[in-house]
Amino acid sequence: MAVHTSTDIGGQNYRFAVPWTAAAAVFIMRGRRLGTVGAAPGEVFMSLLDDFDFDTLSAPVVAVDSDDFREGMRQLAAGVTIVTTSIGDQRIGLTATAVCSLSAEPPMLLACVNREAGAHDPALQSRVFCVNVLGAQHLDLATQFASSDRAHERFTTGEWGTLETGAPVLMDSLASFDCLLGQTLRAETHTVLTGRVQAVRTDPAQEPLLYSRGAFGTFAA
Ligand SMILES: Cc1cc2nc3c(=O)[nH]c(=O)nc-3n(C[C@H](O)[C@H](O)[C@H](O)COP(=O)(O)O)c2cc1C
């Protein structure tokens, strides 16, 4: 038996003609069964198959030029960090802008690290890393940690210490997030590292160092 019912979604009133109990349809995406979508009195629902693996979806065939992609990403102004780790008594780090907050409860962040970077394998092995947010006065550190030919200079300048995990912490950073490594996602040239934050230090009085359109700079409000 089909009856009319209605529901409010985002302030809009929709009417559906559905069987009184519920109506559901299989939701197909690129030829794969993804789950069900349907309606019941007062609700619209969608349920995904628990075991659906999005990675099995075939990649869309679109030819985006990587230079066009890079030009687009150049427009995204970013804060600058140094992501560090340590293994034994060796300290390793790199300049990184591909860092962001993941969740506040529990405190988690993520960092995308090139698999060729010197700090990549040590971070996966030691399972600790620290994200140090740089201030305007850290421009030279930012270039040191971004240049392979200046790798020998890293950790020779700046005041470095530790908090909980033993990963190197820049003690005059704007903020440092000392993390245990959580889940990782290997994605093409990079690995996404998730970090479970164990300690935070902040000094919001400083000016942040920014990176935009291939240049370092500071924020002008
Ligand atoms: C502004 C800026 C941001 C960067 N962001 C990242 C990043 O998010 N992830 C990454 O893997 N490399 C990033 N890099 C590149 C690394 O800092 C660089 O390749 C570094 O030399 C890698 O360390 P390594 O020399 O020890 O291998 C960035 C470089 C610059 C200049």
pLDDT digits (tens, 9 = 90+) for 174-190: 999 999 999 999 999 99
Range from 1-5, 25-29, 97-101, 110-114 carrying the lowest mean pLDDT:
1-5
Task: Identify which of 73, 94, 192 to mutate to test ligand 1's pocket (most ligand atoms within 8 A of the CB).
Answer: 94
Ligand 1 center from residue 145 Cα (angstroms) = 7
Residue 3: the pLDDT is: 37
pLDDT at 81 over 60: yes
In the chain, at which residue ranges do the beta strands (DSSP E only) sit?
A: 2-9, 12-19, 23-29, 32-40, 43-48, 78-79, 81-87, 90-96, 99-103, 108-114, 128-133, 160-161, 169-170, 175-187, 190-202, 209-212, 215-218
Q: In whole angstroms, what is the distance from residue 33 CA to residue 27 CA?
A: 6
* Domain parsing of the chain, residue ranges: 15-56, 69-212
Bridge partners for 26 per DSSP? 36
Cβ(169) to ligand 1 under 6 A? no
Cβ atoms < 10 Å from Cβ of 182? 16
CATH match for 69-212 among 3.40.50.12780, 3.30.70.980, 2.30.110.10, 3.90.1300.10: 2.30.110.10
Copy the structure tokens of residue 174: 């704007």
pLDDT digits (tens, 9 = 90+) for 121-157: 999 999 999 999 999 999 999 999 999 999 999 999 9
